[in-house]
Amino acid sequence: MQKKKIITCITILIFVFVVSFTGLAKAEDYKVGTIWPMTGTAAAFGEAITNACTLVQDYVNEAGGIHGNELKIINRDTGSEPTKGVDAARKLINVNKVPAIVGCYSSGVAMGVSQGVTIPNEAVFVTLGTSPMISVVKDNDYFFRASAHDLYNGRVLGEAMYNDGHKEIGIVYVNNAYGKGIADAAAVTFSKIHDGKVVAKVPFEIGKSSYSSEIRRTYQNGDIDATLIIAYPEDATVMHKEIYANGWDDIPWYGSPDQKVPELIDSLGAEYMEGIVLGSTQGRWPGASKDSFMEGYNKKYGEYPPKPYMAPGFDGLVSVVLAIARSGKAPGEVTGQDVRDNIRAVTSEPGEKIYATVEGFKKAFALLEEGKEINYIGASGNVEYDKYGDAMSAIQTWTIEDGEIITIENIIPDPVPRDLMPPEYQAE
Amino acid sequence: MLGSIVNGIILGSIITLGGLGISYILLIQNYFNFTGGTFFTLGAYLAFAFLSIIPMGSFPVVSFGPGLILALILSMIVLAIIMTAVDKFLYQPLRKRNSPFMFFYLTAFGMLFVLRSLIYLIWGPQLKNYISGVRKTYHLAGGINISPDEIFVVLATLIIVGIVYYFQYYTKLGKAMLATANDSRLAEISGIKNKHVHTTVTIIAGVLTATAGVFYGLAIQLRPIMGFTLLMAMFFAVVCGGDGAILGTLGAGLIIGITQEFGSEILQVIFDSTGIPIEMSGYKQVLAFLLLIVILTTKPHGIFQGTFLER
Amino acid sequence: MNKGEKILEVKDVTAGYGPVDVLFDASIEVNKGEFVVVIGPNGAGKTTLMRTIDGVLKPKKGKVMFNGENITGMDPSDILTKGISYVPQEGNIFTDMSVMDNLEMGAYTYEGDIQERLDMIFDLFPILKERLKQTSGNLSGGQRQMLAISRGIMIDPSLLILDEPTSGLQPNLVTDVLDSIVRLQEEEDMTILLVAQTEQAIPAADRGYLLRSGEIIFEAPTDTLLDNDQVMNLYFGG
């Protein structure tokens, strides 16, 4: 009796296991994998971006699918951790046999997934990390990035500081690949592209209860024109207390993408936050794709896309879908190599401009069937993957007025040229 | 320069209170309570939750009002209840079965992750503050900047340590706790009920831990990892304080705070002037850890030689 | 209650540790005001018997009656409030605490005037008065024993159970300690139950039991106890 029960249980478990891993996709579906943080610290982002990906699936299938076959997106959880992310990607490739994966919110997880899973398995991986190091991974061109990276952010911040007439600046940055990337890019922009002087460039570790020493070194006794603060809001708050205590809060400061959050205004007060001149973040690119993304999302989920990095995630998935369509292969036969070899063609010149709407997808699939070229213009920028696999993405500048975050503009800047950057940013 | 000593004292005060909470568990229940850091965070967030229904009001000089004190007291009560429940349902069965201490550590570790997930679930990962806006600051000679809130934290810590010290060594219940720590079987046959002592200890630990968490939230900010990042420092205070001597913990707490802040700044100045390209920011805790090793190898019973029992 | 009335009655108690029984159907009685010894060789179950009476150990069978009340299976702290105080052989003082704190802990549940108890104890063991602030772990063997007894009598118990109070002491100290115990019996009206491996305590007591391999095998007034063959056998190798 007991034995029978156990066997039944095991059978059910195996069944559940198999069903959940294969995702019950029909054989004739085109499958694309996504990995987003559905649990852990970045779970809120994961939920929103999964919705955005479902939106892409809806548009494509409403447009009649890719050459008549439905698109099926299989999502797995990264748990905001590298180990879980690697596990999720491995299952997508080995069990679900997807040719391409879109996902990851953080550079750390993305590096683990790409080097551990997607590159060795020759699957395309389009991510959203901002670290410049993503560009120089030896990837046989299987590793792409849809978002704007630090060389864009740093360029915009450096230019803004120089154009505002500052001559001597201090930079304090979070000591990880992301923070160092923006700090280096901004410093190069300010002091190499222009003739400004970076008098202090001070790294700090996250989670400390005091940054008095770091702030004193960054501000050089208040003897600077402006500062660039590259910090998460928690640490930025601690720093501003120090800045205020030293009476340096009248020195204008510039901020990194993470500081575009209402929490910072809540904790420091609207009046104090008037002191920020400008910050940068991932942008959204005006056009039919952006409208379709914004309005479609609002219609389906009852709110506008809440996070800035959702737009490049949306674009990344669209570019993979279009690359699959251009390969002309049947579902189940598309390989990572097919996606890799077609992804640039569908996102850059020459070709007819395509936007992410139902009509747009219809038109794109029809043109591709006729053997004609297309050029996808995204919700986050022109997309157009460069030789490093980085998309041409927009940067948004913002500031704070009367306690509200205000968008200044969305621009697609030239990234800082890599040859001006320190050696670790150069590809081999 | 002197400013960083003051920063160290503020941090040290908070470490002392959190460390004492862990000390008490260690004293009677004989294991390092890894969950201590997370209870610390929970205490801070509980007060935050109470503040959403209690009006803050205002006190002269400091930026907070009576609402925070009330929220702190409520947080102490709730945290003490939670910690007592955890003790009753998780640790008491372990004690009854005389389980190996590894079980206690594993349980404490497990609780740490459970509680942390709960904090993320309920309050989310974003930073929070009891009071928004920048605080009034006094500028004193020697580059010392200190806000009235921070002065409050330091003074209140000293007063609390004083009260705990008095309770511990000059009251019957306090001494009964020491007796149980010294020999629980003899304590039991002297009429001191172990169960009551365990409950008392857990309540005291809850009160101290909640206070430490709220003080951190007041002086710095609230974030889900706040207690976890201080865990190491609290252990330092407990170990170097001499297995939890009260004044020893205060001393060790202040030493670790000052070492982290002042020590790292001094070294930074030295490195800068000699041109060694080392950024101390990342090594503040390493510095404290090195000090811990030096102290433990030279003075294995803690800096102050005493133990909890011997003061 | 008058002198001579039964104060403690242990009836057919079987007890042990885990699956191993050490004590088998042991029965003893102690009358009010008496000084009773239980002697027996090492491993006879003397300490087990005392622990069972004091509630440290729960018996598997049998019952313990104190002043006519069934106290079987009660917690030590509750038994203490009934008037039984137990001074174990090992771990009988709080070694990390001062002499004064030890005495204070002895009186943890005492509701009367503590100063009176202290005066009585200082009269009994004057040396303790000089050592009040000293950490008790640093006391000499004899002083430790005195402190252990003092801790036990701080609550003014009606029955004092002493487990090997003279073991390891020099002969002159043994006499001192036993004299003090007799003084407690005579001056403080305390009933004494003492267990010992050696015969030293027998002359001081009124009555004795011989415990061997977990069974009470003999009971007699002390003068005849010493004449008994089995006792002689045990102690004098006859």
Any domain includes C60: yes
* B278 vs B100, higher pLDDT: B100
| Residues B153 and B281: beta-carbon distance below 8 Å | no
Any domain includes C70: yes
**pLDDT, position A27:** 58
Q: Which of B103, B130, B305, B91 is nearest to B223 (CA)?
A: B130
Inter-chain contacts counted by CB atoms under 8 A, chains B and C: 71
* A54 vs A207, higher pLDDT: A54
The first and second tokens of residue B278, run together, are 């080392």
- All residues of chain C having their beta carbon less than 8 Å from the beta carbon of residue B193 are 75, 77
Any domain includes C1: no
The CA distance from A206 to A41, in Å, is 15
The CA distance from A14 to A20, in Å, is 10
The CA distance from A76 to A85, in Å, is 8
Contact A246 B284 (CB under 8 A): no
- If interface means Cβ-Cβ distance under 8 Å, which residues of chain B face chain A? 3-4, 7, 10-11, 14, 120, 124-129, 132-135, 137, 139, 145, 147, 216, 219-221, 223, 225, 229-230, 261, 264-265, 268, 279-282, 284
The first and second tokens of residue B284, run together, are 């503040």
* Residue A49 pLDDT exceeds 60: yes
Inform me whether the C-beta atom of residue A41 falls under 8 Å from chain B C-beta atoms. yes
The first and second tokens of residue B164, run together, are 């705990």
Contact C97 B192 (CB under 8 A): no
Q: How many structural domains does chain C have?
A: 1
Interface test with B, best of A210, A217, A238 (most B CBs within 10 A): A210
B105-128 confidence digits (pLDDT tens): 889 889 998 998 899 889 988 888
**pLDDT, position A14:** 64
- Strand order of the β-sheet with C61-66 is C20-31, C6-17, C61-66, C69-70
Any domain includes C43: yes
Average pLDDT, stretch B128-141? 84
* Residue B311 pLDDT exceeds 50: no
Average pLDDT, stretch B44-70? 93
Please tell me what DSSP assigns to residue B222. Answer: B
Helix (H, G, I), strand (E, B) or coil at B64: coil
The CA distance from B166 to B170, in Å, is 5
CA atoms within 13 A on the CB side of A378: 33
Any domain includes C147: yes
Name, in order, each residue with C-beta under 8 angstroms of A181's C-beta and a sequence gap of 6 or more: A130, A131, A132, A133, A149, A150, A151, A154, A425
CA atoms within 13 A on the CB side of B159: 7
* Burial readout A7-29 (b: 16 or more C-beta within 10 A, e: otherwise): eeeeeeeeeeeeeeeebebeeeb
The CA distance from A420 to B14, in Å, is 46
pLDDT band at A5 (very low <50, low <70, confident <90, very high): low
* Residue A226 pLDDT exceeds 90: yes
- All residues of chain B having their beta carbon less than 8 Å from the beta carbon of residue A209 are 11, 14, 216, 219-220, 230
**pLDDT, position C1:** 42
pLDDT band at B304 (very low <50, low <70, confident <90, very high): low
Q: Which is it for strands C35-39 and C191-196: parallel, antiparallel or unpaired?
A: parallel
Percent of chain A at pLDDT exceeding 70: 93
pLDDT band at B137 (very low <50, low <70, confident <90, very high): confident
DSSP states of B156-210 as a string?
HHHHHHHHHHHHHHHSHHHHHHHHHHH-HHHHHHTT--HHHHHHHHHHHHHHHHH
Lowest pLDDT segment from A41-50, A189-198, A254-263, C146-155: A41-50
> Are chains C and B in touch, 3+ Cβ pairs below 8 Å?
yes
* A206 vs C87, higher pLDDT: C87
Contact A271 B128 (CB under 8 A): no
pLDDT band at C238 (very low <50, low <70, confident <90, very high): very low
Residue type, A84: K
* Residue B15 pLDDT exceeds 70: yes
Lowest pLDDT segment from A93-102, A256-265, B26-35: B26-35
Whether omega before A350 lies within 30 degrees of 0, making that bond cis, reads yes
Residue type, C237: G
A8-24 confidence digits (pLDDT tens): 656 665 655 555 545 45
- All residues of chain A having their beta carbon less than 8 Å from the beta carbon of residue B3 are 212
A292: alpha, beta or left? (left if phi > 0; alpha if psi -120 to 50): alpha
- All residues of chain B having their beta carbon less than 8 Å from the beta carbon of residue C94 are 178-179, 182-183, 186-187
- All residues of chain A having their beta carbon less than 8 Å from the beta carbon of residue B147 are 241, 245
> Which of B183, B191, B310 is facing C109, going by the closest CB pair?
B191
> Which of B14, B225, B264 is facing A213, going by the closest CB pair?
B264
Name, in order, each residue with C-beta under 8 angstroms of B71's C-beta and a sequence gap of 6 or more: B47, B48, B50, B51, B54, B214
Lowest pLDDT segment from A402-406, B50-54, B217-221, B297-301: B297-301
Contact B134 A240 (CB under 8 A): yes
**pLDDT, position B306:** 53
**pLDDT, position C65:** 93
Q: What angle do CA C127, C128, C131 make, to 5 degrees?
A: 100
Average pLDDT, stretch A118-135? 90
Name, in order, each residue with C-beta under 8 angstroms of C123's C-beta and a sequence gap of 6 or more: none
Any domain includes C203: yes
Calculate the dihedral angle through the C-alpha atoms of C216, C220, C221, C227, rounding to the nearest 10 degrees. -110
Q: Which of C3, C53, C1 is nearest to C23 (CA)?
A: C53
Average pLDDT, stretch A126-148? 89
Average pLDDT, stretch B238-256? 82
Any domain includes C32: yes
pLDDT band at C215 (very low <50, low <70, confident <90, very high): confident
| Residue of chain B nearest A244, judged by CA positions | B134
SS (H, E, C) chain A: CHHHHHHHHHHHHHHHHHHHHHCCCCCCCEEEEEEECCCCCCHHHHHHHHHHHHHHHHHHHHCCCECCECEEEEEEECCCCHHHHHHHHHHHHHCCCCCEEEECCCHHHHHHHHHHHHCCCCCEEEECCCCCHHHHCCCCCCEEECCCCHHHHHHHHHHHHHHCCCCEEEEEEECCHHHHHHHHHHHHHHHHHCCCEEEEEEEECCCCCCCHHHHHHHHHHHCCCEEEEECCHHHHHHHHHHHHHCCCCCCCEEECHHHCCHHHHHHHCHHHHCCEEEEEEECCCCCHHHHHHHHHHHHHHCCCCCCCCHHHHHHHHHHHHHHHHHHCCCCCCCCHHHHHHHHCCCCCCCCEEECCCHHHHHHHHHHHHCCCCEEECCCCCCECCCCCCECECCEEEEEEECCEEEEEEEECCCCCCHHHCCHHHCCC
> Which of B179, B188, B193 is facing C94, going by the closest CB pair?
B179
Which CATH number is C12's domain given?
A: 3.40.50.300
**pLDDT, position B2:** 80
Residue A40: burial class (beta carbons within 10 Å; 0-12, 13-18, 19+): middle
Average pLDDT, chain B: 87
The CA distance from B50 to B53, in Å, is 6
The CA distance from A273 to A233, in Å, is 12
- The domain of C124 spans 6-235
Average pLDDT, stretch B191-214? 93
Alpha helices (runs of H) in B259-283, residue ranges in sequence order: 264-274
Contact A241 B265 (CB under 8 A): no
Helix (H, G, I), strand (E, B) or coil at B59: coil
* Residue A198 pLDDT exceeds 90: yes
Helix (H, G, I), strand (E, B) or coil at B306: coil
Residue type, A176: N
Q: Which of A172, A165, A145, A54 is nearest to A347 (CA)?
A: A145
The first and second tokens of residue B260, run together, are 């982290």
Contact B179 C92 (CB under 8 A): no
A59-89 confidence digits (pLDDT tens): 999 999 999 999 999 999 988 788 899 999 9
DSSP states of B101-148 as a string?
HHHHHHHHHHHHHHHHHHHHHHH-SS-B-SS-SPPP-EEEGGGEEE-H
The CA distance from B21 to B204, in Å, is 7
The CA distance from A382 to A384, in Å, is 6
> Which of B183, B185, B193 is facing C56, going by the closest CB pair?
B185
| Residues A305 and A52: beta-carbon distance below 8 Å | yes
The first and second tokens of residue C133, run together, are 């602030």
The first and second tokens of residue A76, run together, are 């797995």
Radius of gyration of chain A (CA): 23
Contact B182 C96 (CB under 8 A): yes
